[in-house]
Amino acid sequence: MLQVKNLQIAIGTRLLLDDASFMVAPGDKVGLVGRNGMGKSTLMSILSQEAAGAVEYEGTVKFQGNYSYLRQAKLNAGQEDFTALSYVLAGRNLTEAQDRLTKLQIAMENDPSDRNIARFARSEENFRLAGGYQAESEARRICAGLGISGDEMTRRMETLSGGERRRVELAHSLFSNAETLLLDEPSNHLDVDAKQWLMAFLRNFSGGLLIVSHDLELLDSAITRVLHLDQGSMRTYKGTYTQYKVARAADVIRQNKMATIQEADIDRLKTLADRMRHQTASRARVAKNLDKRVELMKATKVSRVGKESSVRFKIPTPPQPGRLVMRANKLEMRYDDQLIFDKLSFEVTRGDRLLVMGLNGAGKSTLLKILSETIAPVSGTVAPGMNVSLGYYAQEHEGLRSDEPVIDHLRADGVLTDQQIRALLGMFTLSGDKAFQLAGTLSGGEKTKLALAQLAAQRHNLLLLDEPTNNLDPISREGITAALQSWEGTLMIVSHDEAFVQQLQPTHVLSMPDGAYTHWSDDLLELVALA
């Protein structure tokens, strides 16, 4: 169980949350919702104690029982040498328990004393009660449900793609037997089958669940209560996400009506006070009392809720490259002994919108890393065309520097003036105090916007984008999609977002791992979520 009392969160001078209290009891399924930048991921990191010292906060956070936290982050230090399966098993500390049991067994076999036999028996009993003997089959069942293949389970974590690692992290949390789950965007990188499996798992989960997600289908399926976070305040709504939307819309109407009435009362009393102020002494005293009432009403009046407006992003027109933008010839990639793809050859020409499709683990993200020279292939060559400037968007935001302010990420290239940088950050809704906020304290959606703003500032004419709509709220996703759809450069994209792909209208498809290169057809749209 999770209990939160009088929680207040601030980043610099910006108040993210003021005096919030709530509880997540066993069986509660709670969705934390709000626009990008309202503090959802920051709140989750504070609840998990991962933000201790990094973000200022006051209040009480208390867990009864154990919990597991799925963060929006890249691979943590110390996990590199785990295999995917051993990392999932570590969710219940069974990796260490298995190692200890093995050591005690060896010690007992070498010296079968009463002491060694007793130590092994106690350890073996604890391992059995913890479900150790059934653990591997259960871990494999969860991994299979999330689309993690048997080959992926044997690979080291550092060799997995961002999407593969993300699914292993989720399996680690679900396998942990935690009494409370804190899940931040758990459906990222899941195909449609894996998402259906996750929704069933969460519906049947008997513990407490607090989930951040922009996946409306997942929220409708999994939750029974919503915490709405907006402009420093939190409000609770009962029911599914759809029921919350109806109740929230009614609340907004009521709140705005109340604000209109209060504003009219304030104006009426202020006008009356102004009329009486310069008349008789007794009327002047009445005017002074009216002034006090007006100030009190201003201090206690409800805020008007503005309509969520659309967001318009623009990527500047790039310099024109030659007709051939990129050629890949006989690319081969392996991790350890695992072949990812072989003899992969294709060409990208000016103006193409190439969608890279394939099942999880087919090497889509790996291919983009090779093309961007982030990693090297085992063999084969990549040759950019004439006057090509390549920009790469990594799904884990590896290009961002957590300890540097947002504005410095755009200053580093020296391409734009400060005035141009501020205008660009404003267009990507990162202006004001956020421009000087450390990149590591941004939400997942804000990190996405910052990474895309960097690409816009650098005037690239070829963009490699790996899941560019992950973590974006619906309004921001629509804005980013429209900006890419109207951009005149060349795109090579990996995405599971069916609505995004439909609006983007690719020109060609590259199927992984076989490398089949074909023209886009709307008939392929239903395969996007599967691949």
**Six token digits for residue 375:** 């990693």
Residue 260 clears pLDDT 60, i.e. is over it: yes
Quick one: pLDDT at residue 363?
87
Mark residue 27 as left, alpha or beta (left: phi above 0; alpha: psi -120 to 50; beta: remaining). left
Closest to 468 in 3D by CA, of 460, 328, 458, 478: 478
Instruction: Centre a 10 Å sphere on the Cβ of residue 260 and count the other Cβ atoms it contains.
Output: 11
Q: Mind spelling out the 3-state secondary structure of 234-245? A: EEEEECCHHHHH
Closest to 501 in 3D by CA, of 529, 473, 470: 529
pLDDT digits (tens, 9 = 90+) for 190-203: 878 888 899 999 99
The fold for domain 324-528 equals Rossmann fold (3.40.50)
Q: Which residues contact 476 (CB under 8 A, 6 or more apart)?
A: 35, 36, 311, 429, 445, 449
Specify the CATH number for 1-66+178-253; select among 3.40.50.300, 3.30.1280.10, 3.60.10.10, 2.70.170.10.
Answer: 3.40.50.300
Quick one: pLDDT at residue 310?
61
Quick one: pLDDT at residue 142?
94
Give exposure, 303-328, as e/b (b: 16+ Cβ within 10 Å): eebeeeeebebebbebeebeeebbeb
Quick one: pLDDT at residue 419?
85
For residue 429, give the amino acid letter: T
**Residue 115 banded pLDDT, cuts 50, 70, 90:** confident
Scanning 111-176, the segments in alpha helix (DSSP H) are: 114-129, 132-145, 150-153, 162-175
Q: In which element (H, E) is residue 60 found?
A: strand 56-63
Angle between helices 162-175 and 192-204 (to 10 degrees): 20
Residue 22 clears pLDDT 80, i.e. is over it: yes
What order do you get walking across the sheet with 67-70 strand by strand? Answer: 67-70, 180-184, 208-212, 29-33, 225-230, 233-238
pLDDT digits (tens, 9 = 90+) for 36-48: 778 888 888 888 8
The chain-wide mean pLDDT, for the chain, equals 85
What is the spatial distance between Cα 512 and Cα 357, in angstroms, rounded to a whole number?
A: 6
Q: What number of residues does the chain have?
A: 531
Give the CA count within 13 Å in the CB-facing half-sphere of 166.
Answer: 24
Closest to 334 in 3D by CA, of 153, 520, 135, 155: 155
pLDDT digits (tens, 9 = 90+) for 310-351: 667 788 888 999 999 999 999 999 877 788 899 999 999 999
pTM (predicted TM-score): 0.72
Quick one: pLDDT at residue 76?
57
Residue 91 clears pLDDT 90, i.e. is over it: no
Quick one: pLDDT at residue 121?
86
Residue 438 clears pLDDT 90, i.e. is over it: no
Residue 393 clears pLDDT 70, i.e. is over it: yes
Of 63-72, 127-136, 406-415, 422-431, the one with minimum mean pLDDT is: 127-136
What is the spatial distance between Cα 61 and Cα 70, in angstroms, rounded to a whole number?
A: 18
